[in-house]
Structure 1
Amino acid sequence: MWKEKTTMKYFKVNRFLPTLWIAALVTLAFVDTAQGSGDADRGRAMYEGHCASCHGMNGDGNGPEAVALNPSPTNFQSAAVMGNLTDSDLQREILQGKPNTAMKGYGTILSPEDLEDVIAYIRSLSQ
């Protein structure tokens, strides 16, 4: 009898574990995609100096250098594209570059504050 009650409690708890995991993952996804604390106005100056030649002044991926690039630079104006990029994704690609593309890393150029500012500006382009 004791074993049966213990097994039932174990079964009831295990039934809800997948739901708890899903809730935790959804919560983490929202936390990760929340807009950071960067200053978009400061980020604009860095974007124009380092990013606009490929990504375009307005972030559409059609900068003067983009014609020669394959794959094309990311279109930061696209809500669909930006909705799939977390701030962590953007940080990684800006700092380390993007494999198999012309996107080089800026990890030695941008400070952590500069990085947050650039991401804030990039996020503002799709709004």
Structure 2
Amino acid sequence: MELIPIIKESLKELDSRSYSKRFIKPIREKVKEIAMEIAESENWANWEDNKVSNGVKTGGKMLNGEFLAEFYFSYKHDSWKKSSYLAVFQRDESSAAGYTIQAHDQELVSVFSSEEAIKLFHDAIQI
């Protein structure tokens, strides 16, 4: 019998703050770090002509509880109606990290490879 799931469930019931600190916070930090590393390595962290705020931000699906973790960065050019963004997410504790790319003029795309996400976002921000 595997004890870890039983212990985790007991901790969640007894002390949700400790559970969150021990199990949820590290996942969120990992996902945020992935988003920050991509933004910095590709020079997408601080555009001079960005019409939306620069930096890595908390995603709405994390804020509303749909995803365990979601962080994104975005870019908007003057000539676009919508911004383009790249989000790194993890749905729950047992899932792998994934990537969502929304180009300003295309449908939302989800992938599970950082290389593919970087290429898609690169294409999404071409002017």
Q: So what's the TM-score if we normalise by structure 2?
A: 0.32
Q: So what's the TM-score if we normalise by structure 1?
A: 0.32
Structure richer in strand, relative to its length: 2
Structure having greater relative contact order (Cα 8 Å, sep ≥ 6): 1
Bigger Cα Rg: 1
